[in-house]
Structure 1
């Protein structure tokens, strides 16, 4: 159950962190996007009252950073005007979807004979239910009028402020469900002189035209995060149900296997025997188990003339570790030390804690030279290992190696122990070898 709870806590922690990160990203503007209309991604042209037999003349100057329209309004047509028409695409029926944008920024300098005179801005939308590619007037007029002045900079308008022109609705007999503003297929943007102009000189300089939006709205983000939590909760519930069913089935099978009380007692006795043979701190074999085993293997080795070696291992300056960092940290060092060596040894080797910071490694069917190679690998690994403690820490060990000759197990142990003592006296972090009945002098 502990493993499941830890797994569940990690999932919840991930969801909390992801939710905070996603919403923080949104609040910091990560979801914002812009669509800037420039001469590089669109086409500009003049439209004036000449299509209505008017006499207005106009010129258009397109530079890298602005578009400048000059026109002389002649009061001949019924509705004299001039405008900049911006085609966003090459095809009138395949425009740009601006429905995911919420505002438009417009920077216009407007020169006219009247102070605070307004310009008209149209976002023309194509929809096949009411528009015809051969009739430009059939495109929907999403319109605003405002007074841009001169050198007043960028003005930002929410797209919800645009209104569909009533005359266009009436003239094209538009149904109610299509009479509201629409920005999902804008193919043309028009910037025109005001509704009531007089015969005079007019100029429109378009400095900047940009649409502001978000890749995902706040409400959509919240819904997506909520959906993520709900889906995760459903998956967790289903997973726990599956695990619970599996455990119930496993418990039933185990109960069936353990029906016999004698079998249960036998299993418990095996468990107690294992605990008696295991060092409670490092979880490797203890000295008591090795002593009994060593008597038997020593006799078998000498009878069959098979090589058998022993490596005594001692952690250097371990007392200083306990004195400096405390016995709790010292216990952690012993556990990590034992785990590291246990991963290096062969399956045939016997590794045990001899006592305190001393460990012993018995290597059956191993001669002295091979044992020394094993000892050197252990010494080098310990000396070079980067330990995952909560402080910088270096660790070394000293090793004594002996190969069994015609001697008892006690004499064998004593020789390896003397070799270890010599390694410590010779400066530590080294290996010393005991040859036959060599004694320390």
Structure 2
């Protein structure tokens, strides 16, 4: 991250104050140079160029045998349709001087080849992008690229549609310095010490795009590395947990067995009061959301005392086991069967309302009629049902269910009462 910050700041500073790209046209640059005059159009003007060590010198004998005589100093960049993209340059500097009878403006022109508009080998069909400037007595002329315009006379001559009349210098085939009809007849001399196009190795927009892409790539790389590191740590943790699970398996089984004995009734396998308390404390004690709805069913085997008195306690224990097994078959896996004491049982119905619990109790009541009991006896059960109220303590709910059970027993037994 620190490296990226330093790199970003460094590149931005370098782009602003440096990162210069310069294309130089001068005698020392060794670039091809030639002259063109109006003799190609039956005129009488004559242009020639001399390459001195310090400058390129164009001498022009301008004669007005034509309406628009001219002499041009040309730097050809391409003889085909593949020119040079100069759109990334920002400004031009021209270091030159003039000798002659006039003080008019010099024309700087860029020929740009455009497919469908220009013809190979005919520079007159290449789009003419130009600017006029005065030659200073001394010093250098600074010309921003953005001031270049397409020549109106060329648009008119070539009958270019408006859609193609935009300024483009992305395929430049030649660069031209010219003396034209605004000059007096006679001998003119242009001394060009240098013509330079200045720009940046990387434009500001392109650099910003590269930096954004670099930051995105760095972020993705960091994310991928973090994920790999997390997976490695997760694999190590999983292996350690598996090893701990293997080492503790025997102890866990023993603890499970002891827990069952501590929280369940040994005779029936139902929860005891301690088991109910543990379950309620962990999950169902609070009823502050819809998922914590709960109903309680209090169950009592009718006339169980006569079973013990008639058949003995061993048969009574068999009846209790059969009763608990029958109830467990009918209730849901999430419901809790609790032996409350003697022949009394409590069913805690989780995520259940009073009406649903009443339906369950009635189903259990009917099931008792079809249950096979020891010694061929016929037994029934009575049920008291209620639901946990909002914010109500579970103890109050159990008391209300107990009262409903007492009502069922007092009204003839083998019935369900809802409190």
| Alignment TM-score, normalising by the size of structure 1 | 0.52
**Equivalent residue for 2:134?**
147
CA distance 1:264–1:126, shift in 2 (3 Å): farther
Contact kept, 8 Å, 1:131 with 1:139, in 2: the verdict is: yes
Tell me the distance in 2 between the aligned counterparts of 1:193 and 1:264: 105
Unmatched 5+ stretches in structure 2? 252-419
1:47-85 superposed Cα distances (whole Å, 9 cap, x missing partner):
222222222233322212211122222221121121212
Cα 1:58–1:245 shift into 2, 3 Å = closer
Q: Which residue of 1 aligns with 2:144?
A: 158
Give the C-alpha shift of residue 202 in structure 1.
Answer: 1.9
2:98 pairs with 86, 95, 110, which one?
A: 110
Deviation at 1:35, TM superposition (A): 0.9
Map Cα deviations across residues 11-56 of structure 1 (whole Å, 9 max, x no partner).
Answer: x122222223323333441x11111113453222222222222222
**2:26 aligned partner:** 38
Q: Which of the two has higher C-alpha Rg?
A: 2
Matched, 1:187 2:173: yes
Question: Quick one: distance in 1 between partners of 2:61 and 2:81?
Answer: 32
Match of 2:125 among 138, 143, 146: 138
Counterpart of 1:169 in 2: which secondary structure?
A: helix
Q: Partners of 1:79 and 1:50 in 2: how far apart?
A: 12
Local SS of the residue matching 2:86: coil
Residues 361-393 of structure 1: per-residue CA shift (max 9 Å, x gap): xxxxxxxxxxxxxxxxxxxxxxxxxxxxxxxxx
Residue 165 to residue 51, structure 1, CA distance change in 2 (3 Å) = same
Question: How far, CA to CA, are the matches of 2:81 and 2:248 in structure 1?
Answer: 86
1:62 matched to 2:51: yes
Matching residue within 77, 85, 103 for 2:74: 85
Aligned to 2:209: 223
Distance 2:229 2:57 in 1: 72
| Offset at residue 196 of structure 1 (A) | 2.0
> Would the alpha carbon gap of residues 41 and 174 (structure 1) be closer, same or farther in structure 2, given more than 3 Å must change?
farther
Deviations 1:208-240 (Å, cap 9, x if unpaired)? 111111110122222212221111112212322
Match of 1:211 in 2: 197
Shift of 1:264: 12
What is the deviation of 1:162? 0.7
Is the contact made by 1:33 and 1:215 (CA closer than 8 Å) also made in structure 2? yes
Give the corresponding residue for 2:182: 196
Structure 1: unaligned runs, 5 residues or longer: 1-11, 266-441
Task: Give the match's secondary structure for 2:226.
Answer: helix
1:129 pairs with 116, 123, 131, which one? 116
Structure 2 length-normalised TM: 0.55
Measure, in 2, the Cα distance between the counterparts of 1:182 and 1:147. 24
- 2:219 matches 1:233: yes
Q: How much is the aligned-residue C-alpha RMSD, in angstroms?
A: 2.4
Q: Summarize the Cα distance change of 1:253–1:58 in structure 2 as closer, same or farther, 3 Å threshold.
A: closer
- Contact conserved, 2:83 with 2:113, CA < 8 A, in 1? yes
Over 3 Å counting, the alpha-carbon distance change for 1:47 and 1:19 in structure 2 is: same
| Structure 1 counterpart of 2:342 | none
Q: How far apart, CA to CA, are the structure 1 residues paired with 2:88 and 2:178?
A: 25
Distance in structure 1 (CA, Å) of the matches to 2:163 and 2:73: 30
After superposition, the Cα gap between the structure-2 partners of 1:176 and 1:245, relative to the gap in structure 1 and judged at 3 Å, is farther
CA contact (8 A) 1:118 1:194 kept: no
Cα offset, 1:263, TM superposition = 9.1
Q: Contact between 2:26 and 2:193, CA under 8 Å: does it hold in 1?
A: no
Q: Which residue does 2:304 correspond to in 1? A: none
Match of 2:346 in 1: none
Of stretches 158-167 and 91-100 in structure 1, the one that deviates more from structure 2 is 91-100
Measured after TM superposition, the shift of residue 177 of structure 1 is 4.2
SS at 1:259 equivalent: helix
Deviations 1:272-305 (A, max 9, x none): xxxxxxxxxxxxxxxxxxxxxxxxxxxxxxxxxx
- Decide whether the 8 Å contact of 2:22 with 2:199 is kept in 1: yes
Task: Provide the secondary structure at the position in 1 that maps to 2:245.
Answer: coil
Look up the match of 2:89: 101
Residue 125 (structure 1) shift = 1.4
Cα pair distance change 1:55/1:194, threshold 3 Å: closer
Residue 260 of structure 1 deviates from its aligned partner by 5.1
Determine if the alignment matches structure 1 residue 259 to structure 2 residue 248.
no
